[in-house]
Amino acid sequence: MNDARSTSPEQLGVLLKDAQSVLHQRMDEALRPLDLSVSQYACLHHLHQAPGITASELARRAFVTRQAMSVLLKGLQRQGLVARADEQGPRRERAMTLTSEAEEILQQAGAAVSEVVGLMTAPLDQADRDDLARLLLACRDSLLHG
């Protein structure tokens, strides 16, 4: 990175974590005016993608514990952004759905997040972005299946 030697796996890991940390910080700043955290945005995003998803699956997709997801969902419910189904599903969990207010805020949040990601990837041309996506998917898949 600083010289002609090849980049070590450790350096790559640190760089990836640094980039993720700064991305999270910038997303948090962009979402703050909407009164959302990154975790709340992730929750709303995944509920939008998979309406009726269980809290357990939602926690896995948002990278938080089940307990943390429970707290997030209660907060989002108090804000009027999610509603809990009356009927219990399998394993006695109640599905959560977005309210119309959440759909509106999610559009604004998505635009704010897109701006941040656009800033992050501004130095890259389309071929570089495609390569980055391919390489990150390969790294993720290797960890999942390796």
Question: pTM for the complete prediction?
Answer: 0.84
User: Closest Cα partner for 42 from 64, 22, 75?
Assistant: 64
> Could you read off the pLDDT of 80-91 as tens digits, one per residue?
999 887 666 555
Tell me the domain boundaries of the chain. 9-145
What CATH number should be reported for the domain whose range is 9-145?
Answer: 1.10.10.10
> Could you read off the pLDDT of 63-79 as tens digits, one per residue?
899 999 999 999 999 99
